[in-house]
Structures are given as structure tokens and as C-alpha cells.
Amino acid sequence: MSADELRIDPQTSILLLMDFQNGILANYPDAAPGLIARGQELLAWARGAGVNVGFVRVAFEDSDYEAVPSTNKMFSALASARRFPAADSSSQITDQLAPLPGEHIFRKVRVGALSSTDMDQTLKAKGITTLVMGGIATGGVVISTVRDAADKDYRMIVIKDACHDADPDIHTVLTEKLIPRQASVATASEFLAAQA
């Protein structure tokens, strides 16, 4: 992939770190340190380059739990177990990637980052057309957001080593076969080199 395919305009781009929250990172103790390190590297670059920064977290208020129907296989289980209460530590972005004042934090109550948030309206109001993404899990928030954002005509760059899935085969198939149909895919080092 050429550097031109990865180069972005800071004014019309946002770095999105999705589900880098305590309760999700805890599920991946072996992968978490590397994911956090790449998140820190990307954040340092974005903040230094004047790129917009956004975080996505899954977190529920009481009314959100009550609104999840039994037909939603994944989220009805989360709701019945009362997982990720909005004020709980499990729902907070890890302190190692702490958002700064003015950076966007989007609270979602479904898998994708766009479907249950005001992200699309917020980004379009700011003139943002390019999403640079990392997230946990590749087979969850990442693919759901890629599909939704593609339908909303965003340009996307997925940082594959800032994504993780419990099933390495799913991660590989998605980042090598499926996601490239709708987004550019690169490692953090490839992406950052293209911005130099």
C-alpha cells in the first residue's frame, strides 16, 4: 500500500480508539500491553499533529438495560448480567489512554460505534471525513463500525495492530480479506511513516 493511500488531512480526520476500556482490556491480559502501547503511540501523534481524537466505550444507564430486547443475542446477555454500568470502572477508558479535555467520548449501547451514538452527526458537523481506527474486538466494534461508516461514505484507515480479537483467525480474515474491501488497512508503524 502506498503512502498516499494512508496520508490524511489532520483537519478532516479523527483518530478513534474503540472499547479500550478497563472491563474489555481485562479480557485480553496478554494482548492489552501491546494494544495500549500502540494506542499511546497513535494518541501522541494525533495530539501533536492537531488531529481530532475520539474514544468509544460501551456503557449502560439503567434505561439502556431495560431497552435491550431479548432478540438481541449479545446485548440481552450483557443487559441481564448488568455488565458495564456507565459509572463503573469497567466502562471507563483505561487511564493509560486517558482522554484530554475537549476530546470526544462516545458512549454506545450496541456493538458498532455509530449505531447508538451521535457520532455521525458530530463528525459531519466538524467536517470530518476520514476515520483512523483501532478497537477491541476486530470481530465486534471494528467490523460493525467499518460497515456502518462505509455506508455513510467515510474514508477509513484501520490500524490492524491496534485491533484485537480473541480468535486470531477472525482477526486475520477480517483485516486481510473483508475490511480491505471498504477501508485501507495498515500497521501503526506503516500509517505513522506515511504521515512524516
DSSP secondary structure letters along 70-107: TT-HHHHHHHHTT-SBTTSGGGSBPGGGPPPTT-EEEE
Q: CA separation (Å) from 128 to 9, 13, 109, 132, 160?
A: 10, 5, 23, 11, 21
What is the spatial distance between Cα 53 and Cα 36, in angstroms, rounded to a whole number? 15
With bands split at pLDDT 50, 70 and 90, how would you rate the model's confidence at 178?
A: very high
For residue 170, count CB atoms less than 10 angstroms from its CB and return exposed for 0-12, middle for 13-18, buried for 19 or more.
middle
Q: Over the range 80-111, which residues count as b (16 or more CB within 10 Å of their CB) and which as e?
A: eeebbbeeeebbbbbeebebeeebbebbbbbb
Rounded to a whole number of angstroms, the CA Rg of the chain reads 16
Domains and CATH numbers, the chain: 3-59+92-195 (3.40.50.850)
| Tens-digit pLDDT profile for residues 127-161 | 999 999 999 999 999 999 999 999 999 999 999 99
| Tens-digit pLDDT profile for residues 10-20 | 999 999 999 99
Of the candidates 16, 140, 123, which has an alpha carbon nearest to the alpha carbon of residue 74? 140
Of the candidates 170, 142, 62, 143, which has an alpha carbon nearest to the alpha carbon of residue 109? 62
Predicted TM-score of the model (pTM): 0.94
What is the spatial distance between Cα 44 and Cα 178, in angstroms, rounded to a whole number? 29
List the beta strands (DSSP E) in the chain.
13-18, 52-58, 104-108, 130-135, 155-159, 184-186
Read off the amino acid at residue 6.
Answer: L
Work out the number of other CB atoms within 10 angstroms of the CB of residue 3.
13
What is the spatial distance between Cα 134 and Cα 34, in angstroms, rounded to a whole number? 12
| Tens-digit pLDDT profile for residues 69-116 | 889 888 888 788 788 878 899 999 999 999 999 999 999 999 899 999
